[in-house]
Amino acid sequence: MKPLGPIPAGYGAVGGELAIGGRPASELVAESGRTPVFVYSRQHLDERIAQLRAALPNRVGINYAIKANSFAPVLHHMAGLVDGFDIASGGELAMAQAAGLDPARISFAGPGKRDEELEAAISAGVTLNCESGGEVDRALAIAERLGLTPRMALRVNPSFELRGSGMKMGGGAKPFGIDEAQVPGIARKILEAAADWRGLHIFTGSQALSADAIIETQGNVLDLASRLAAEIGASLPKLNMGGGFGIPYFHGDEPLDVAAIGSALGQRLRDLPENLRQTELCVELGRYLVGEAGVYLTRIVDRKVSHGTTYLVTDGGLHHQLAASGNFGTVVRRNYPVAIASHFDAEPAEEVYVVGCLCTPLDRLADGAMLPRAEVGDLVAVFCAGAYGANASPSAFLGQGPAAEMLV
């Protein structure tokens, strides 16, 4: 038997079924018209951001990294909750524009921006978080051809990293950002070109559950930003401090102590260096804001026993939930939070393997999980599905196509 991850707070039962946004799973599936379906909860989004604002100093803004979940109704809803948006491709820029997001609230990071993406971003008036000296040169040339003043910041590859990060994106050789030693010279080139200098973006990693590690990293980010501002010889209009806030996915994970992070950051901001006292500060978060607000509902289409092992075969799988299947960078596969949505308040009764409908042994949603007895037609819920689910999975694999999505 392998333990399941912890079901996020805020989910309960209505008539014995899992309820999302106060509505039973079967009702939501009927409304969507099919399974599988990703269901995102407005209530969870509202409460998560309210809790975060209460914990963080008032001066610190919240940016949403839309790569976590770019579903248009989610973007519309988040527009009223956060201060800015971070995109990582021209495709995401188009999504942001289609959702009516204010370009002045958008920044564009990511290595390998193509010239057409740079041109679209400059034309729209979003901030470019440039990742290399070459990208700066290309952006300045494109802006000159267009007769526009580009909004430009630099993404920094710092010498330090975020301890305990699930994905390290700073420290040592990285494809992301500009090594800190190169930043002052490149920043001065932007200033000399009379571009709209927007400051620095320092993102070191993601999915950390240690408050102490994040506190340490935020302190290092502020120290580095102050030193770079002094070496550049110009103030920083804005400092994107990155994120790294994780959520519990697996057995034994504990929720991040954001109150401790906010308290430590508040103390640090009371003693900022002079060259950062007027700087706009923000954190950039994706999964922490939306991950626990999403549930993936998939229907059991077969129940079978093979060599004494019971399999619940669903109409979903890794083509929608690559991360839950363990194929999104996980070294050792562990179970996400999974439940039988149709019998959410029932006691565990059997050990089962929950698998998808794809013809590959990689298509697993839960291994050796103790769950209530389930039959063909029942619904399975995979939690923590609000981030890196629908938009980070190979939905075209075996011609299956995307899942339905809904915000409730």
Q: Please state the domain extents for the chain.
A: 12-40+292-407, 70-285
Q: Is 14 exposed, middle or buried (0-12, 13-18, 19+ CB in 10 A)?
A: middle
Residue 204, pLDDT score: 85
- pTM: predicted TM-score of the whole model, two decimal places: 0.94
The two three-digit tokens of residue 197, written as one number: 């200098």
Contact (CB, 8 A) for 234 and 279:
no
Diameter of the chain measured on Cα atoms: 72
Residue ranges of the chain whose pLDDT lies below 50 = 168
Return the bridge partners of 108, or none.
Answer: 87, 128
pLDDT at 172: 61
> Which residue, among 268, 85, 264, 121, has the nearest Cα to 195 in the 3D structure?
121
Fold of 12-40+292-407: Lyase, Ornithine Decarboxylase; Chain A, domain 1 (2.40.37)
CA distance 243 to 103: 21
pLDDT in tens, 220-240: 999 999 999 999 999 999 999
Kindly report the backbone phi and psi dihedral angles of residue 377, in degrees, each rounded to the nearest multiple of 5, phi listed first.
100, -20
Among the residues of 161-210, which ranges form H helices?
183-192
> What pLDDT does residue 174 have?
61
Cβ neighbours around 162 below 10 Å, total: 29
- CATH class of the domain defined by 70-285: alpha beta
Question: Per-residue pLDDT tens for 158-203?
Answer: 988 776 555 545 556 666 789 999 999 999 999 999 999 999 999 8
